[in-house]
Structure 1
């Protein structure tokens, strides 16, 4: 593709491109996107085609999508798919004003919505990526998790070259399903995590596990049950994926240490709340537990 293509998508109320860019910039050593000044660049695969897009803010507050490079020139259908990806990534189709109304009266959330107003629950639209990231991040600190993710992506993913830089596509299940456990362990992944990642890849290649099947399930509980059938996917990982990939509003990873630490700090508690205490504390957040979790996590990033 040689011809550059640019268009705008309308931003909803309570959306701040700046806040979302700050989140992306402060989130850690992320290898699946790159911040360039007031822009973010990301490589995206659509079937066999790939594209490098750049997002920025228009003067009217809308989001500008600029295709920098692609394996083919984007048709109207592909433009629509890229628009849909961005809307999903930044959760632009959710009206979060009711969340803000609820949070105004909440002891833990009211200060966060003022500080991060316009921040969206930035997602992971790629189901395989969301599951892999959930597995990689189990029971280790976030800094090390990002190092492992980068090794995994740069070993098995594909890169798009642009302006002297590499922009990485997350590995496909097909790229992982025949890898050996020992090979993944050479990246410093544990034996169990290596086996889990290969198992997830194999389940997806066989069609046993798919985004479409999970999306078709009518409830959070049934989706959690389906995900936890997969070896290596416990309740924490399932809720993380249901929150970041599937947008279940009440996905709530109560076993998450970061979530517990955020509540401890904001509540000035002597010790972290238990899972049971978090469930009780989060009862008023019904229909917004995912957003509450995301904002609580965000409060920890500035301390990293």
Structure 2
């Protein structure tokens, strides 16, 4: 709904922006949005225009304000679509909550984090390269690399003395040399993977639209044809970008730590054990994974 200088996006009664904010603010090094109290400020590229938005929630809606003045009609039509996908707003969660009530692990997580939705990454290039950047390093260093990557190659907009950044475009990264990323402390292999993914996106060898036409298993194997994309990376991208409800990165360290805590184990569970355990969550495995991640913050 358009209203003066802002947009109103209706939300379901079982959606909590506050819960999603905790996840979004899990690193002080995050460079793609800024929290301001219970609002978030983010720079978007919409219909080839840069749009800075500030978003807060009321009981039944998200209020989106525009510090630089309201964008055009076309942009105003596209922004609610983006936000709806960002927070998976269209999904009916009733069956998940019903299932969680009878599940010994999810029952506590859901009552501790009511209204949590999957916080997505709409852009396929961003989702793939962020997953690759985070491979086999801790989250703190992953965010350090992401910040360097964005501040060296992304677009910037200044507002009230603060910089707001866009994730780098695939075209820009496709034209880099490995040495350009080595300077930021990327390993040679990671630099090759990121540039290779950029080239695959630019040449349209892989597209989000094409992936979304495939079934779960074909989607996964299509992603894994990209150099640097293994099982974990494919499942992470399917969960956060392609919003596949059954995606579950069973090898994820964060999920292992969370399950160890939830189950009171004396050591981290094995990936096979986690994979088998996740089968009980069926088509809600992605939501189980996201609640396990959230329990870590």
Normalising by structure 2, what TM-score?
0.96
Q: Is the 8 A contact 1:44 1:52 kept in 2?
A: yes
Which moves more between the two structures, 131-140 or 20-29?
20-29
Partner of 1:293: 289
User: Shift of the alpha carbon at 1:46?
Assistant: 2.1
Partner of 1:62: 61
1:134 aligns with 2:168: no
Pairing of 1:46-57 with structure 2 (within 5 A): 46-57=46-57
Partner of 1:258: 254
Distance 1:300 1:101, change over 3 A: same
Pairing of 1:131-210 with structure 2 (within 5 A): 131-210=128-207
Partner of 1:84: 81
Q: Is the 8 A contact 1:121 1:291 kept in 2?
A: yes
Q: Is the 8 A contact 1:51 1:68 kept in 2?
A: no
- The whole-number CA distance in structure 1 between the counterparts of 2:222 and 2:18 is 37
Q: Which of 228, 232, 235 is residue 228 of structure 2 equivalent to?
A: 232
Distance 1:165 1:28, change over 3 A: closer
Q: What is the count of residue pairs matched by the alignment?
A: 294
Normalising by structure 1, what TM-score?
0.94
- Please list the CA deviations of residues 266-286 of structure 1 after superposition, one character each: whole Å capped at 9, or x if unmatched: 101122221221121111100
User: Shift of the alpha carbon at 1:75?
Assistant: 2.7
- The whole-number CA distance in structure 2 between the counterparts of 1:10 and 1:186 is 45
**SS where residue 283 of structure 2 aligns?**
coil
Q: Is the 8 A contact 2:47 2:75 kept in 1?
A: no
Q: Which runs of 5+ in 1 are unaligned?
A: none
User: Shift of the alpha carbon at 1:27?
Assistant: 4.5
Q: Which of 103, 107, 124 is residue 106 of structure 1 equivalent to?
A: 103
- Please list the CA deviations of residues 81-110 of structure 1 after superposition, one character each: whole Å capped at 9, or x if unmatched: 111111111111111221111111212111
CA RMSD of aligned residues (A): 1.3
**SS where residue 110 of structure 1 aligns?**
helix
1:15 aligns with 2:12: no
1:36 aligns with 2:32: no
- The whole-number CA distance in structure 2 between the counterparts of 1:205 and 1:69 is 31
Q: Which runs of 4+ in 1 moved over 4 A?
A: none
Q: Is the 8 A contact 1:28 1:143 kept in 2?
A: no
